[in-house]
Structure formats: C-alpha cells, structure tokens
Amino acid sequence: MPDPENPLIVQGDKSILLEVNNPKYEDARNLISRFAELLKSPEYIHTYHITNLSLWNAAAAGMSAGLIINALETYSKYDVPGNVKTDISDTISRYGCLEMVKDRGSLLLKSEDSVLITELWNHKKLSRLLVEQCDPHTIKVRAEQRGHIKQALTEIGYPVKDLAGYITGEFMPVDTLDITGKGFPFGLRDYQREAVDSFYAGGDVRGGSGTIVLPCGAGKTIVGMGIMEKLKCNTLIITTNIIAARQWADELVDKTTLSQDDIGEYSGEIKEIKPVTIATYQILTYKTKKKKNNDTSEAKDSDEDNAEFPHFAIFNSRKWGLIIYDEVHLLPAPVFRITAELQAMRRVGLTATLIREDGLEKKVFSLIGPKKYDAPWKELEKQSWIAEALCNEIRIPMEDSQRMKYATAPYRSKYRVAAENPLKLVTAKKIVEYHIARKNRILIVGMYLEQLRRIAKMFDAPLLTGATSNRKRKELYDKYRSGEINLLVVSKVANFAIDLPDANVMVQVSGTFGSRQEEAQRLGRLLRPKKDGSVAHFYTIVTRDTRDQDFSSNRQMFLTERGYKYEIRSEFKEPSSS
C-alpha cells in the first residue's frame, strides 16, 4: 500500500526516485537494484530506470513480474502507475515465451504463441537465419547460427530461452580439496555453492550458460572451480593477462586435484594446450594483417575471423566442455564474434559488474548468457566475507596558474589538466604519511604515467605500469605480500586480477574518465577480508568544479548502487576507524 513515509516514487516513464535519508532506504535499494539500473546518485535522491535488459536479467535470476511489482508497491510513496505494472508484466513475459530446442538433429524455435511464430517467420532481420516454418508453433533455424539467432531475437525484444543443450566435452576428473596444498582447510562458502548450483541447474539444459556477479575478493575463481568440479570436462579459461592466468593456475593446483601437468598456459610467452588451458584476451585478439578480399558473403565471416585472429584456433583445439570468461565485462568485441559460434559449449562469465562502458551488455546476455547469480556486496560485508570499506572523495582546488591552464585548454584536454593537478600530490602525501605510520599496505593508482612517475619519485616507491615485465611485476607483488614493501604506485594495469590480500588503502589520483567498472574494480583490490578484521580505506582525490569532479560522480554510481557511501571532504582528515 502507498505510504508517504516510504522511500520510492515510481514514475510513468519507468524511472524510480529513491530517497536516501529514509529508514527504509537500504531495504528498498537492495530490492530494486535487482531489476533496475542506477542512472544518477547525488546526495539525497537516487534515480533508477527499469529497462528491458534489467527485467530480463531479473527474470533469468528467478524474479517474477509479481515479485517486482510487489517490491515497488511495498516501498512506494504513491500508487505505482498502471502502465509501469503492465510494461513490467509484458516485458517479463517475453523472456521464455520462445524456446530453442533440439529435435532429431534439428535446431528449432518453439512458442505456444502461433502469432509470434508467424511474426518471426516474416521478420526481415531473421530471414537469413531461418530455414522453414514446420507448424504454427515451430520454426526450424540454421543450427550453425545459434548465437546469431539469439542476438537477433534479443535485439527485437524476444530473448529466447536456450534449451538446445551442450556438448559434454572430453572427460577431465577434477575435485576440490578439503585441505589445500598449502595445508589450510578449504570448502566453498554457502553463497559460492549457491552460485555454482544456479549455473549448473542439476545438469539440466536450463543451466550451462550465464554470468555470475560477485564482488572482487569474494572468490569468483572458487566459483569457477566449483563449476569445473560439477562438469568434470576439458576447460578453457580466458582471463585478462598473464599474471591473472598464472594466479588461476596456482589456485587450481592449490585447491583442486589438478596438477601443474594438467594445466596449460596460452599467452604471448607460452603456448600450451592441455586439458585445462588458461588463455589471455590479449593473445586471442592478436591480429594478422588482413588481406583484401572482394567476397563479402556472410558465409565466410567465420573463416575470415580465424585468418585475421589466428589464435582463435584454440577454441577448436580440444573438445572443450566449458569455457570460463573471467572479467566478462571486458570481453573484447572479436571474442564476442567467435563466441557466437560456440553456443554448443557451456559458458560462464565471472565479473564484479555487468556494466560495460561500450553499451554491449546485451551481447553478454545473449552470447554468454543471462545473469544467474548476483550477491549483495553489503550482505557479504556483514558476514565478513569481504572487508568493510570506507570511501572518501577529497575535492581540492587548483592554483591560479593551473586554473588558467584549465580555462584555456581545449574541451577534450580539460580532464587531463584537472586530473594532473599538482596539488593532488600534497594531499596524497598526507594520506600516505598517516597510513604508513600505522603500517598499512597502500596502493596509489592513476591513469597518467607522468603523474605516477612524479608520485613514485616523491615517495621513492616502485612504479608498476604496462611496460613493466611480467617477471618484475611478480617480484614487486611478492615483496608487497611479504611486507618488504608497503607502498606501490600502479597504473591501470593493476585494475584487474591482482592478488594482494593485505592491501587496505588505495589512493586514486586519476582514472579512465567516468568508468564505473574501473571504480568497482579498483575498490575491489581492497575487499579481501583482512586477517585482523581491519577496515579498508578508498580515497579519490579530485579537482573541484572541473570535469575531474564530473567524471568522479559518474564513476561512483555502481558502488553507490551496491550500498557504498562516499564522504565528501575538502581536505584529508584522519579517519575515525583505521
């Protein structure tokens, strides 16, 4: 029932206004974030929007239209507009009204709605993908175009439920251990087991493809191991870089019955193909020079991709039964193209956020699979599975000379001028001195190398960039883990897959414009639970009243949706909890 004391206002355009300073704010946010996307998050009113994709992902994760409408009505100040309830019901009903099945070797689209089948048979965007209409409820489609059909159907508003099944893949025995190779007790946590079960679905065709969303530090790699244990098949793991690939290998050897001989690395340095192979996105998207070809027929697309991207051959090098896409929100466009051809293999995407700054979320949905599991970050924090984190944005001024430089800079250059504000080093120095005195482990992260070089020189600290060799990176990470060094200055190469569990302070001096995913990944470097239960501190230093501040506000949106609040300050103040 509507209640003026409630925190929500639901509007006819499917936008939702959420009042922050309301006792029911957290409960309402935790519900609506499951089926709506955060658009804006200023201090007092947050704006969400209900989209087709957000509803389809909610439906795939088990939410019904009735549950969504009930959530809105429970927390709304006023009546939920009738058109919104109707749109929610209609959109949710579209997910699953079409099913893709296999029957006697043929790939079929089926629906109880004969009018819909007729509409699809006559749809121009689908014509090259369809073979024949078998009966009023069935269309035979081109089996080799399974991924492209799913993409096209999602685009026209009828996401298909893929029940066509998957190849088994070559058998590979793998089990998780009760005691790790390092001698520690081990077992999947409850939420990790739930994530595995939601993907596996008892081995039924209703499982086998989808994405698992967990915060950094919550054990996405462990979930991948759990899925491998269920399927027991040759597995291809694709991750962001060589360091991440080797961390996967170390974890598999430490926590499963796999040996190093079972695991191959396929990267720029080593090219091994074994029952479990770990490849990098970089090597897969390595391009050869493309020869001119006047034949524009679509039938040659796949062959041309394999010629242009020679390492795509790895996808056919063994009878893979599972492909794991680590950090799936970073999946490069060429890998989407080959993934469209791999729909008969089980696929799981692991990520902390489904947000893509290039707007390709629908491709993840249709080609990797819908969201199967999404754990609330703050719930995991309350259970001490991830560290508590305090976020601060420190807004600083510019000196007059820098202000003039900013004022006269071309629009495209203004962000860099503001982001490299020399006064940021003064604030960074105060933060570092405070936390070094308390023996904290600190990361300073930024985008611009010259800025990072100045900071590294100021602190006489190691600098890690894209030019740093993998050998040197490993050496620095090992020294940081051992406590030999407690301050690292890092570029954006450290956004992903760094296993530095004792890092508990990050100072962000610049970032990739307004990237929400980068903000989430950077905070994630601090979220592994600390042995002493201490709080993590995430500082962002921005230049006040500039594009730096504007981008910072956008970057914070995803974390705000996940329940994190940024304290806005004009200078560094000693935190109340250290």
Q: CATH code at 313? A: 3.40.50.300
Look at the chain and count its residues. Answer: 578
Last residue of a domain, one of 65, 94, 123: 94
Chain segment 26-48, per-residue pLDDT in tens = 899 889 988 998 877 776 888 99
- When pLDDT is cut at 50, 70 and 90, the band that residue 292 belongs to is low
- 300 band by pLDDT with thresholds 50, 70 and 90: very low
Cα torsion 438, 481, 465, 388 to 10°: value is -60
DSSP conformational letter for 122? T
In angstroms, rounded to a whole number, what is the distance separating the alpha carbons of residues 236 and 197?
A: 20
Q: Does pLDDT of 496 surpass 50?
A: yes
Helix 449-459 to helix 423-437 angle, to the nearest 10 degrees? 40
- Whether 237 and 198 map to the same domain: the answer is yes
- Taking 60 as the threshold, does the pLDDT of residue 537 lie above it? yes
Q: Identify the domain boundary among 74, 94, 114.
A: 94
Do 122 and 232 reside in the same domain of the chain? no
Q: Which residues constitute the domain of residue 354? A: 190-292+300-375
Residue 145 burial (C-beta neighbours within 10 Å; 0-12, 13-18, 19+): buried
Distances (CA, A) of 536 to 20, 325, 525: 23, 28, 10
CB atoms under 10 Å from CB of 483, counted, come to 10
Q: Per the domain annotation, does 183 fall within a domain? A: no
* DSSP characters over 325-343: EETGGG--HHHHHHHTT-T
389-394 average pLDDT score: 92
Instruction: Provide the greatest CA pair distance for the chain.
Output: 76
**471 located within any domain:** yes
Q: Is the pLDDT of residue 290 over 70?
A: no
pTM over 0.75? The answer is yes
Same domain, 130 and 37: no
- DSSP character for 183? S
* Residues 129 and 229 grouped into a single domain: no
pLDDT band at 474 (very low <50, low <70, confident <90, very high): confident
CB 281 within 8 A of CB 239: yes
Q: Is 9 helix (H, G, I), strand (E, B) or coil?
A: strand
The single residue listed with the structure tokens 């014509």 is 127
Q: How far apart are CA 40 and CA 45, in angstroms?
A: 8
Q: Which of 382-391, 516-525, 539-548 has the lowest mean pLDDT?
A: 516-525
Co-location of 347 and 364 in the same domain: yes
Per-chain mean pLDDT for the chain: 89
Residues paired with residue 49 on neighbouring β-strands, in sequence order: 15, 37
Residues 521 and 395 in one domain: yes
Residue 167 maps to a domain: no
Average pLDDT on 458-470 reads 92
Nearest to 148 by CA among 164, 132, 128: 128
Q: Are residues 104 and 89 in the same domain?
A: no
- 2 domain-assigned: no
- The token pair at 383 is 């259970």
Number of structural domains, the chain? Answer: 4
Alpha helices by DSSP H, 33-79:
52-60, 65-75
pLDDT (average), residues 361-371: 87
340, 318 contact by CB (below 8 A): no
450 with 429, same domain: the answer is yes
Residue 575 inside a domain? The answer is no
Please tell me the distance from the alpha carbon of residue 278 to that of residue 272, in angstroms, as a whole number.
Answer: 9
Pair 429, 501 in one domain: yes
Angle ∠(480,485,489) on CA atoms, nearest 5? 80
Q: 541 pairs with which residues across the strands?
A: 394
A 10 A CB-CB count for 206 gives: 11
CA 474 – CA 456 distance, rounded (Å): 18
CA distance 523 to 536: 9
pLDDT at 295: 46
CA atoms within 13 A on the CB side of 177: 16
Residue predicted with more confidence, 94 or 360: 94
Are 104 and 75 in the same domain? Answer: no
Residue 427 lies in a domain: yes
Encoded tokens for 147: 């991924």
Residue 32, C-beta contacts closer than 8 angstroms, at least 6 positions apart: 8, 16, 18, 48, 71, 72, 75
Q: Is 547 exposed, middle or buried (0-12, 13-18, 19+ CB in 10 A)?
A: buried
Mean pLDDT of 56-85: 94
Residues 261, 272: Cα–Cα separation, whole Å: 11
Q: Which amino acid is at 310?
A: P
Q: Which of 10-14, 34-38, 142-146, 340-344 has the lowest mean pLDDT?
A: 340-344
Please compute the mean of the pLDDT values over residues 307-333 and round it to a whole number: 85
Whether residue 103 is found in the same domain as residue 90: no
Same domain, 470 and 391: yes
- Cβ–Cβ under 8 Å, residues 49 and 57: no
- Helix %, strand %, coil % for the chain, to 5? 40, 20, 40
Asked whether 226 and 196 are in contact (CB, 8 A), the reply is yes
Domain boundary among 143, 162, 181: 162
Quick one: pLDDT at residue 466?
Answer: 85
